[in-house]
Structures are given as C-alpha cells and as structure tokens.
Amino acid sequence: MRKTHAESQEIAAFRRYLEGHGLRLTNDRWAIVKEIFATHNHFSMDDLFIALRLKGKRISKTTLYRNLPLMQQSGLIRRVPGDSLNGRFEHVLGHPHHDHLICMSCGREIEFTCNMIEQAQEAACRRYGFEPVHHRLGIWGYCHDCCQKKSDGRRVKRKQRVERS
C-alpha cells in the first residue's frame, strides 16, 4: 500500500513502527487501524471482527489475533484492565492518559483522570528509584446504577418480610 498525501496520524505511526521492525503496512493492517480509530469506545476482538465484516472487509480472526499485539507494541492501542477472557482494547494515540472504574455487575467502564493519583505514583517511583515505562489502573466495584438496584432490591425484600410477619 502506498503512502497517500492524507495519511492519518495513526496510520503514519503504525507504518513507522512496522518499517522499523521489517514489516509492511498491508491492506488488512490498514483496514484494522482505520476501524479501530473510527470508534471511540472500548472494543473486543469480536467487536472489531464484526465491524470489519459489516464494512465488507474479509479479515480473519487469525489476522486480528496476529496484528493486535503489534498495535499494542507500537503504542496505538492498549488492553483495558478487566476480567474479560478475550480482553477489551482502546486506542491511546492522541488521547490523554486515564484510568478505569469497572462495574462487576453490568460491565460498565468509566474512564477518569486524577492528578493526585498520578502524583502519588510519580512520588512512589522517585522514592524507590524506579523508572516507569507505563502503568494502568483499574478499580473494580459496582457503579451507581447497580448499587441503586441492589439497594432497591434489599428494600423490597425487607418490606416483603415485614408484611409476612
């Protein structure tokens, strides 16, 4: 695939990474990067596979499994902290660092930034003479909506017990 005048920042960055590792930017790799950066949500391998198929791209799951690690190593995407067996990803190029709150009930992922957390991590690295390369923070618990549902459910059960007495 030839470099075009309007090549996106993502494609250019991935092309540089691939060329530095003796690899080519194939049509499949180009389509995968374009699809990843067309969405602004976290995605799974299956989400990406389906989105590509819906656009008429005949890219196999094997091709995705081989290329997503390259995209992670190149700094285009990262795995979102979570307990999903297949994993979820997000694109990071051009996006500020953030962390995640992950609901264990409904799976909702809330992105947040907190300067105090970042400063505490930097202070810990300085204190121990540690040179960080990257980090990711995920906090697992229950979102507001699920806490409300759980609380409402307890109220209903309590009310039913009182009425039976």
Q: Say if residue 33's pLDDT is above 80.
A: yes
Q: What is the mean pLDDT of residues 131-154?
A: 82
Q: Please tell me the distance from the alpha carbon of residue 7 to that of residue 128, in angstroms, as a whole number.
A: 43
Instruction: Tell which wins on pLDDT, 117 or 52.
Output: 52
Instruction: Tell which wins on pLDDT, 86 or 98.
Output: 98
Q: What is the mean pLDDT of residues 152-157?
A: 58
What's the pLDDT tens digit per position in 53-86? 999 999 999 999 999 999 989 888 888 776 555 6
Per the listing, tokens 């994993």 go with 87
Structural domains of the chain in order of their starting residue, each with its CATH number: 1-95 (1.10.10.10), 97-165 (3.30.1490.190)
Residue type, 139: I
Per-residue confidence band for 48, with pLDDT thresholds at 50, 70 and 90: very high
Contact 49, 32 (CB under 8 A): no
Q: Say if residue 24's pLDDT is above 70.
A: yes
Contact 127, 119 (CB under 8 A): no
Per-residue pLDDT at 153: 65
Per-residue pLDDT at 128: 95
Residue type, 114: C
Which residues of the chain form beta strands (DSSP E)?
Answer: 43-44, 77-80, 88-91, 99-103, 109-112, 138-141
End-to-end CA distance of the chain: 76
Per-residue pLDDT at 112: 86
Q: Please tell me the distance from the alpha carbon of residue 115 to that of residue 152, in angstroms, as a whole number.
A: 34
Q: Three-class SS of residue 66?
A: helix
Percent of the chain with pLDDT over 70: 83
pTM greater than the 0.85 cutoff = no
Q: Say if residue 156's pLDDT is above 70.
A: no
